[in-house]
Structure 1
Amino acid sequence: MKISIITVVYNGERYIKDTIESVVNQTYNNIEYIVIDGKSSDSTLSIINQYKANISNVISEKDKSMYDAINKGLKIATGDFVLILNSDDFLVNCYVISEIVNLIQKNLGFEFYYGNLSILKGNTVSKRNTFQCSYSEILHSRHGTFIPHPALFISKKIAQKHIYNLKYLYASDFDYILNLAKTYESKFLQITVTVFRSHSESITSSGKINNERKLILKSNDLYKTNFIVRSFLFIRIWLYYKLIQYVNL
């Protein structure tokens, strides 16, 4: 089974080395690594080129947005499953792709799989557990937390058929996950995949995604649900999420 990993980056010299090394040091040897650089003006491309022998495809050209760059990667990816690895995140250890492949092979028949994240904030790492989640639960949570994009493996079928909506500059991954959950059956894998780096420069920390997220929720008819019902579902799903951080269910 081939796994394609796509990293898109623009002026990411601060963290890109950690991201690349977490991929090229994997023990699993059937990985296609694609790096899309948006014509960085810092030393990003120089750092990427240090690892070029271990990267399947490097593209450096201007793009419309990070999601435009991801779409470029999806068009050329040839793996059975594809992971989008952010340029400031990194795989949790050198065995994780091998472990993911073993879990997928034991649970064949799904078009996308996802696992858990760890969050790195400063020098502190904390695990974030998630669970098998439906489209309705993702929608009523109003957030992409429960199917984390940096721990999402999509099939070749999805990669060839679905692209990210360039209408959204910051929250297209949330839109993408909702569309997948609405269309396909998924499988949650009880494994931590990626370390998500939380820092002041990240899009998540900037708050830029909030307005776009509201538009995405509206386009999925969230607000047509009775206010009391959707409020109840919102509270229930987040209470469950909080609970599983402390109790292994």
Structure 2
Amino acid sequence: MQPKLSVITIVYNNVKDIERTMLSVLNQTYPNIEYILIDGASTDGTKDTIYNYKSRLAQFISEPDKGIYDAMNKGLALATGDYVLFMNSGDEIYAPVTVAEVFESASAADIYYGETEMYDENWHSLGQRRHRAPETFSWRSFRYGMCISHQAIYVKRSLAGPFDLQYKYSADIDWIIRAAKNASSIVNTHSYVAKYLVGGISKKKHMASLKERFKIFTKYYGFVPNVINHLFIAVSLGQYYIRHRRTND
């Protein structure tokens, strides 16, 4: 029997991108998808676009929330699938066959993950993420940075507790690490599974996001190892930008 996937999209005042995201889910060839839309009481026409597809949604809520992770928790509370996937407004499932290919890659894994392609606000490809998805992934893999985006990870719902709302910008990192700690089988699909629109809240509040990430990584990996790991991250980041600048010269 094909596992049921709950795809959760959260949105607030993003009429420009919401339809593109919705169609990437609704046009999947995989038949057993439950699509949940959580809108934060948009006022820009987003709700009108969503209503055009309301009959194809399993759940639709439009009400004020306390931020993106509060909205994600509302979606999790409504989900009934075997697995959950967050595909926020502006992002896309990579291709119509992606979900089918993810579940065909292995049977009954606790977590499936893949690669992410980045796009700018005009939906031009920026290529692969700087942090490439690791060949093997565990809860320790984030110690050198967020190597998997939350749009590119399918998590068994029984492992997926609520997001910790003490974190305003990086609760998704904490959520993935917790799920990975409880997982016994994690499968690399070796394929692109998501398209990601750059410039989310963690980019707009970059310093606050970095401080939260440091706090989360310290909780899981310890303070001293986290400091050492961040030195490696800084060196790696510097080398990346040097190579990138040379490529563009």
* TM-score of the superposed pair, with normalisation by structure 1: 0.83
- Residues 23 and 214 (structure 1 numbering): CA distance in 2 closer, same or farther, change over 3 Å? same
Deviation at 1:218, TM superposition (A): 2.5
Out of 91, 94, 97, which is 1:95 matched to? 97
Which letter maps to 2:127? S
- Residues 25 and 5 (structure 1 numbering): CA distance in 2 closer, same or farther, change over 3 Å? same
Q: Structure 2 CA distance, aligned partners of 1:22 and 1:137?
A: 29
Q: Structure 2 CA distance, aligned partners of 1:120 and 1:138?
A: 23
Q: Structure 2 CA distance, aligned partners of 1:70 and 1:226?
A: 28
1:130 counterpart residue number: 133
Q: Structure 1 CA distance, aligned partners of 2:169 and 2:4?
A: 29
Deviation at 1:217, TM superposition (A): 2.1
Aligned residues: 230
- Residues 238 and 176 (structure 1 numbering): CA distance in 2 closer, same or farther, change over 3 Å? farther
1:183 counterpart residue number: 182
Which letter maps to 2:133? T
Which letter maps to 1:46? D
Q: What 5-or-longer segments of structure 1 have no aligned partner?
A: 243-249
Give yes or no for contact 2:102–2:112 (8 Å, CA) kept in 1. Answer: no
2:48 counterpart residue number: 46
Give yes or no for contact 1:114–1:148 (8 Å, CA) kept in 2. Answer: no
SS at match of 1:153: strand
Which letter maps to 1:150? Q
Q: What 5-or-longer segments of structure 2 have no aligned partner?
A: 242-249
* TM-score of the superposed pair, with normalisation by structure 2: 0.83
Which letter maps to 1:90? E
Instruction: Give the RMSD, CA atoms, in angstroms.
Output: 2.4
1:74 counterpart residue number: 76
Deviation at 1:3, TM superposition (A): 1.0
Q: Structure 1 CA distance, aligned partners of 2:183 and 2:235?
A: 24
Percent of pairs with identical residues: 33
- Residues 209 and 193 (structure 1 numbering): CA distance in 2 closer, same or farther, change over 3 Å? same
Give yes or no for contact 1:39–1:62 (8 Å, CA) kept in 2. Answer: yes
1:114 counterpart residue number: 113
2:213 counterpart residue number: 213
2:159 counterpart residue number: 158
Which letter maps to 1:45? K
Most deviating of 212-221 and 10-19: 212-221
1:224 counterpart residue number: 224
Q: Structure 2 CA distance, aligned partners of 1:226 and 1:58?
A: 40
